[in-house]
Amino acid sequence: MSLLRRALWGLLLVVAAGCRSEPPPDGITVLVEAPPDSLDGRFALTAIGQRMVQLIAPGLLTFDDTSRPVPELAESFRALSPTLVEFTLRPGLTFHDGTALTSEDVKATYDGVRSKALQSPKVDRYAPVEEVEVVDDRTVRFHLRGAYAPLLAELSLSIIPAERAGLDGVALQASHPVGAGAFRFESQPDEEHLTLVPFEGYHLGPPAIPRLYFRVVRDETTRVLELLKGRADLVTNAVSPAVLPLLRKQPGLRVLVRPGTGYAYLGFNLRPGPLADVRVRQAVCHLLEVKPLAEHKFHGLAEPATSMIPATHWAYTPGEGCRYNPAEAARLLDEAGYGDPDGPGGLPRLRLSLKVSTDRFRKSVALVLQEQLARGGIAVEVRSLEFGTLFNDIRRGNFEMVTLKWASVIEPDLMRNVYHSSNVPTEENHWGGLNRGALMDPELDALLEEASQVELSERKAAYARVGARLEELLPYAPLWHESSVAVVSRRLEGFEPSAHNFISSLARARKVGP
Amino acid sequence: MRRAASAVIAVVGALLLISLFLNLVPGDPIDVMLGEEASEVDREALRRAVGMDQPWYAQLWTFSKDFATGELRTSLPPFQKKVLPAIGAALPKTLQLTVASLLIAVGIAIPLGVAAAARKGTAVDSAAMGVAVAGVALPRFWLGPMLIIVFALWLDWLPVSGAESWRHLVLPSLTLGTALAAFLSRMTRAAMLETLREDFVTVARAKGLHPRVVLWKHAFRNALLPILTVLGLEFGTLLGGAIVTEKVFAWPGMGTLLLTAIEKRDYNTVRATVLMFTLCYVIVNTLTDVAYALVDPRVRRRS
C-alpha cells in the first residue's frame, strides 16, 4: 500500500472517530434571527435587543398580556395627581455587582436618558417628564409637565447603576451590562453569541436554568434544522407558520401559541386621488376576506383585526372591521363615480397600486389581496420594493395603498402618532411623523388628545370613542393580529410565550433531562 | 512592478465603487440609528457627529485615512467600536472556510478530472462528468440544508451550524467547495485531454514508462497551468459564495460581518469588509502568478 493511500485511510479513521453526536450544552439555547442592536436598554430599539435587555436589566414596570402596566422592580405605583406619579421600589433590590438599587439609581437612569449628551434615540419619549424626584431610598416621583397618561408605557426602561447612567458609563454598559434582572451577563465573545447566567440575588429568587445561550442563526431553514436536531431549546416568532405543522409532529418539540399584539393593516393614502373618497376606502374594505387569509396563510395563527387594538388588550372595544360584502362595495363604488364600464368581469372600475416589501410572505399576501379586490372590479398593481425604498416612498406620501404592520401595540397612544393631523410627514418636518396617509380630521384629533390626558380609569371609554370615529374615517383597512409563537424543546419546562414576544418567563422556567 | 500597480488600481476602484453605491442606496442610516420617530434637530446633530453631512468623496478620504491608521470605527454612536478587531476575528474564519473548500474542491476535482481524461469515453468518464454537471447545477442555499439533513439529522455525524470545532467546518466547506469541484473537474479533464495529445506524452509512452508516471508526472504537470488560472479566478467566487454559506451555517466570518453591517447601515464596516474581500482577491491572484513560475519553468524564463 502506498504512503498516500495509508495517509488517506488514517485521515478517514480520524474523521470517522470525530463524527459522533455532540451532547447538547449544559444550559438552554435560544436561537435569534439577528444580533441585538444594543444590550443597553437606553439604546436598544430592535425587538431582539429589548427582549435580551429585559432579562438583564428590567425596569420599574413591565406589561402583562393585556398590555396593562404591572410592577417589576417597583412594588407599587400610584398617580398622586394627573401630573405626579409615585413609585415604591421592592425592598432589598440589588444589582448584579452586589450594590443596592435605590431611588437614586432610578433618578440617575432617567436623568441620563433625558440628557441630550447621551444621544439616546429614546430621549423624545421622556419629553413630558419635568423632573424625577427622590423621596427616600425606595420612593421616587415623576413630575410631568402636563397630564400625560401614556407615560407609564415608557417607564419600562431598564434601571442601571447611577455611576453608569452618564455618558462615561455608556461603553461599559454596552459591553458588560449590569442590571437587577434575573440573568447576569457572562460573556459575549462576538456579535453572534451571548451567554447569561442566573443572578443569585434576583428579587424573585434565582432562575433554575443553569445557563442561557443566545445564538444568532440568520437562516430560517437552519433554525428549523437546529430545532429538529435538538440543539436549540427556544425560538420565538422566527419560524414561518407553514413550517409549524412539521414541528408540532416532533416528539422533542412543543409549539406554544398566544394571541399577539402585532397589527397588520392595509394603509390608504388620503391625499387627492380615488382613495381620498371614504366610499372608495369602504368599498376596498368590503371586498377583503380577511378570515380565510388568516386561516390559510397563517394556518390559523392570526386573528382578523377590527382595529389596531387586539381583543386581549385593556383598551379593546368590539368593532366592525372589514365585513365582506361585495354588493355593498359595488354600490359604494357606483356612488363614488366608479361604475362598472362593461358589467362583471372585463374592464375594471378603478385601478390602484399596492406597495409591499420584498419579503416573500408579505408579497404572497399582497397577491391574495390583489385577487380579492379584482373580483370587485378594482385592478391592483402590486409593487414590491426593497425596504429602504418602500419606507422612503411611504414617508413622502408616494403610494396609494400599502401593507405594513406595527410589531407590537402596547400603548394605544400610538394612534395619536399615527392618525393625528399634526403628525403628517411634510417637507417642513423633514418627513417625520407617522400619519403617512395624511388623515386630517379635527374631531378625531380632539378625541385622541383627550384620550392621552384623561385619568387611567377613563381611558378605555375614550379609546372606544376614538375607535368609533376611525371606523367612519377608515384610514387603514384592519387586517389581522399575528399570534405570538414559541417553539420550545422538551428540555425547557415552564416557559410561557407572551403576547408581546417577551421572553422574561425564562426566569421561571427550568431545564429538565439531559 | 506592473502587477503591484494593477493591484493598487483594483483596490482603489473597488473602494470608489462601493462608496458610490453606498451613496445611492435608499434608506437613511440616521433613521436606523435614531428610530423613525426622532426629531430633525437630533438627526442633523447625529449626521454631523458621524460625518454623514460630508459629500461621499470626503467620507471616502476620511475612511481611507482611518482604515490605514487602524483608527476606523463603526459608524453607529455611541458605541463606536474599532472595525479592525472585528475583521481580525472574522477574516481567519472566512479564510478557513474558503481554504477548506478549496482543498475539498481540489481533492475531489483533480482525481475525478484526471480519471475521466485517462479513461475518456468510458463509463468512468460519463459518471465523473455527470457528477460534475450536478455539482455545478446545485445552488448553495439548497445544497447546504440538504447536507445538514443527511449528515447532521439522519446520520447524526456532524453539527448543524456554528463554528466551535473542526467538525463544524466540514459541511459548510463541502457546500462551498462542491460547485468549484464540479467546475474544476471539467477543467482538469479538458486540460488533461489536450496535454495527453502532445508529442512529449507520446515520447514518454514510447520510452516504456509506467502509464501512471506518464499520466501524473508528464501529462498532469503540464495540464496544471490552466487549472491554476481557474483556481486563482475562482477564489473570488468562493469568497462571494462564503456570504451565502456563512448565513446558512451561522459561520461567524466576513459574510456574517457584512450582513450585520448592511442590516445596521454601518457604512464603515461595509466599506472595510468589501475592501478586505478585494485585497484577498488581489493577493490570491498575485500568488497565482507566482505559482505559474514555480510550476512552469517556461514562465520563469520569460519573466
Which residue positions in chain A have pLDDT lower than 70? 1-25, 430, 514
Residues of B in Cβ contact (< 8 Å) with A19:
155, 157-158, 167
Residues of B in Cβ contact (< 8 Å) with A425:
none
In a shared domain, residues A309 and A281? yes
What CATH number is attached to the domain comprising A59? 3.90.76.10
Nearest to B176 by CA among B85, B261, B70, B97: B97
How far does B107 lie from chain A, in Å, by closest CA? Answer: 11
Q: Do A222 and B249 touch (CB under 8 A)?
A: yes
Residue ranges making up the domain that contains A448: 260-482
Residue of B nearest to A17 (CA): B157
In a shared domain, residues A375 and A301? yes
Q: Using CB atoms, which residue from A35, A174, A388 is nearest to B260?
A: A35
Residue of B nearest to A174 (CA): B79
Q: Tell me how far apart the alpha carbons of residues A236 and A227 are, in angstroms, rounded to a whole number.
A: 12
Residues of A in Cβ contact (< 8 Å) with B39:
124, 432
How far does B216 lie from chain A, in Å, by closest CA? Answer: 14
Nearest to B145 by CA among A227, A225, A230, A217: A225
Domain end, chosen from A114, A147, A175, is at: A175
Q: Tell me how far apart the alpha carbons of residues A39 and A123 are, in angstroms, rounded to a whole number.
A: 17
How far does B254 lie from chain A, in Å, by closest CA? Answer: 12
Residue of B nearest to A428 (CA): B40
In a shared domain, residues A54 and A130? yes
Q: What is the mean pLDDT of residues B256-274?
A: 83
Q: What is the per-residue pLDDT across B177-202, written as a single tens digit (0 to 9) for each? A: 888 888 888 888 888 888 888 888 88
* B104-126 exposure pattern, b = at least 16 Cβ within 10 A, e = fewer: bbbebbbebbbbbbbeeeeeebe
Residue A40 lies in a domain: no
**Dmax over Cα atoms in chain B, in whole Å?**
86
Count of beta carbons in the 10 Å neighbourhood of residue A66: 15
What CATH number is attached to the domain comprising A445? 3.10.105.10
In a shared domain, residues A209 and A277? no
Q: What is the mean pLDDT of chain A?
A: 89
In a shared domain, residues A133 and A241? no
- Residue A255, amino acid: V
Domain end, chosen from A149, A175, A201, is at: A175
Q: Tell me how far apart the alpha carbons of residues B170 and B165 are, in angstroms, rounded to a whole number.
A: 10
In a shared domain, residues A57 and A148? yes
How far does A506 lie from chain B, in Å, by closest CA? Answer: 23
Q: How confident is the model at residue B29 (pLDDT cuts 50, 70, 90)?
A: low
Q: Do B166 and A18 touch (CB under 8 A)?
A: yes
Residues of B in Cβ contact (< 8 Å) with A174:
78-79
Q: Do B27 and A19 touch (CB under 8 A)?
A: no
The whole-number pLDDT of residue A263 equals 92
Mutation pick from B32, B104, B141, B160 vs chain A, by most beta carbons of A within 10 Å, is: B160
With 0-12 / 13-18 / 19 or more C-beta atoms within 10 angstroms meaning exposed / middle / buried, residue B207 is exposed
Number of domains in chain A: 3
Q: What part of A 357-396 touches B (C-beta under 8 Å)?
A: 386-389, 391-392
In a shared domain, residues A357 and A328? yes
Q: pTM for the whole thing?
A: 0.84
The whole-number pLDDT of residue A3 equals 46
Tell me the β-bridge partners of A266: A403, A477
Q: What part of A 112-131 touches B (C-beta under 8 Å)?
A: 118-119, 121-124
Q: Using CB atoms, which residue from B38, B161, B247 is nearest to A121?
A: B38
In a shared domain, residues A461 and A505? no
In a shared domain, residues A140 and A8? no
In a shared domain, residues A118 and A224? no
Percent of residues, chain B, with pLDDT higher than 70: 87
Domain end, chosen from A129, A158, A175, is at: A175
Q: What is the per-residue pLDDT across B118-171, written as a single tens digit (0 to 9) for each? A: 888 888 888 888 888 888 888 888 888 899 999 988 888 888 888 888 889 999
In a shared domain, residues A81 and A148? yes
The whole-number pLDDT of residue B36 equals 55
Residue A224 lies in a domain: yes
Give the residue with greater pLDDT, B72 vs A454: A454
Q: What is the mean pLDDT of chain B?
A: 81
Residue A131 lies in a domain: yes
Residues of A in Cβ contact (< 8 Å) with B247:
218-219
Phi/psi-derived region of residue A297, left when phi > 0, alpha when psi is between -120 and 50, beta in every other case:
alpha
In a shared domain, residues A341 and A359? yes
**Dmax over Cα atoms in chain A, in whole Å?**
92
What CATH number is attached to the domain comprising A507? 3.40.190.10
Q: What part of A 199-228 touches B (C-beta under 8 Å)?
A: 215-219, 221-222, 225-226, 228
